[in-house]
Structure 1
Amino acid sequence: MKEIKKRAFEFLSQFKSCNMVTITRTGEQISHLVQRNDEEHHIIRADGSYVISPYRNKEERNERIKELSDRYTQDEIAQIMNVSQSTVSNVLNGR
């Protein structure tokens, strides 16, 4: 058990923030992790699989928002991406 805790700590210490949401409609649990060293954002499911590819900047973030729009509502995307719903709307409407 001590080794498992050590590995978990080592894994989590590479991230500077973690936001976990549960999509009410589906029950899906999704985490938004921001890597400490290069600010890379990772959006992963509870099972460890990626929801979308990692991104590093605003342009890439906006592309990921567009990718999510065929599977999730604007409110769900805002929760997943840790942005406001109005940001999601602006990206999707090209503003």
Structure 2
Amino acid sequence: MPRKTAARAQDDLLADFQSLVSDTEKLLQDTASLAGEQADELRLQINESLKRARDTLRDAEQNLKERGQAAVQATEDYVQEHPWQSVGLAAGIGFLLGLLAARR
């Protein structure tokens, strides 16, 4: 269950960032009617920033996916190799969380 929640949070963050990039692109298109050398320079800078942001987003997304998959695989491998230790660890964590919850 936590894996789905973390993945959903990651997807929401990426969607928000992509929305920000697309909104900025729309703003850039809407300001295309502005004239002047400064406006052209500003549009060029915004375009370059958007390209860097898209590249960074793509790289970050790929990196996060790879790291997440590696963590999931390592956890699954450990649980398969050490099932009783995993059960004991889960029971211990559950016990500690129960104690903390009972104190409140």
TM-score normalised according to structure 1 size: 0.27
| Higher radius of gyration, 1 or 2 | 2
TM-score normalised according to structure 2 size: 0.25
| Structure with the higher strand share, 1 or 2 | 1
